[in-house]
Amino acid sequence: MSKKHYRIFEGLRFASCLTFISGYMNAFTLVTQGGRFAGIQSGNVVFLAYHLAKGAFATSLLFLVPIVFFMLGQALTYLARSYCVKRKLPWHLSGSLIMTGLVFFAIILNPIIGHSLTIAILSLAASVQIETFRHLRGAPYANVMMTGNVKNSAYLVIKGWMEKDMMLFKQGCYIFITIISFGLGVLLSTSLSAQFGESALIFLLLPMFYINYQLWKEKQSS
């Protein structure tokens, strides 16, 4: 059987880098932006409802900000993708540049603007990421939230093992690796955020520059 070839953004290293970015970003906002998440909207919904139940309406509204801007990010992604498709521009590279631009924008404005605007910008970036990069070696996965990955990894590993299907087994292992990289992002971000505060966001540019470089290199070779 001939070996399948995947685009660079479907590779394991690339997917692991994306989940690392997500883990880093969400831990950063949890530590420095009032206990909110840039991308894990389930967590924001839980805290929103929790504070509503306690009667802390002003606090609950703070958790509405990343939810709303994550939703707006889907509109931004749709419009940007349509623009790129019509003009035959490479969408995945364009999407990655939009993400990087938003993070860079947040880094520049963070010392000036309040927490809510910072997390709003990062929620836009997370929303663009999850919609732009959706496959790992041809199979769907999530690179911002890990619930589906935890479920799929366990299911595919046991299914592949029981049915002696190495392709499924490997796919489950690949997804498990992305979960580990997400955790590493959380670990490093928590440590750096405790040490450098909001300036720790600058370190997020390093893996983002890496994915931009990989996409640009693929475009140059095509």
pLDDT at 115: 74
Q: Are 40 and 97 in contact (CB under 8 A)?
A: no
Amino acid identity at 205: L
For the chain, how long is the longest CA-to-CA vector? 62
Which of 10, 30, 196, 188 lies closest to 123 in space, CA to CA? 30
Burial call 117-147: b when 16+ CB within 10 Å, e when fewer: ebbbbbbbbbbbbbbbbeebbebebbbbbbe
Number of neighbours of residue 51 by Cβ within 10 angstroms: 17
Q: What is the pTM of this model?
A: 0.93
pLDDT at 110: 85
Distance of alpha carbon 148 from alpha carbon 189, whole angstroms: 22
Which of 107, 153, 120, 124 lies closest to 15 in space, CA to CA? 153
pLDDT at 97: 97
pLDDT at 120: 96
Amino acid identity at 33: Q
Amino acid identity at 200: A
What is the chain's pLDDT, residue by residue, as a tens digit (222 residues)? 345 677 899 999 999 999 999 999 999 999 999 999 999 999 999 999 999 999 999 999 999 999 999 999 999 999 999 999 999 999 999 999 999 999 999 999 988 876 779 999 999 999 999 999 999 988 889 999 899 999 999 999 999 999 999 999 999 999 999 999 999 999 999 999 999 999 999 999 999 999 999 999 998 887
pLDDT at 3: 53
Q: Phi-psi category of 121—alpha, beta or left, where left has phi over 0 and alpha has psi -120 to 50?
A: alpha
* Per-residue pLDDT reduced to its tens digit, 195-213: 999 999 999 999 999 999 9
pLDDT at 4: 61
Number of neighbours of residue 39 by Cβ within 10 angstroms: 26
pLDDT at 2: 45
- List, in sequence order, every residue forming a beta bridge with 139; answer none if it has no partner: 136
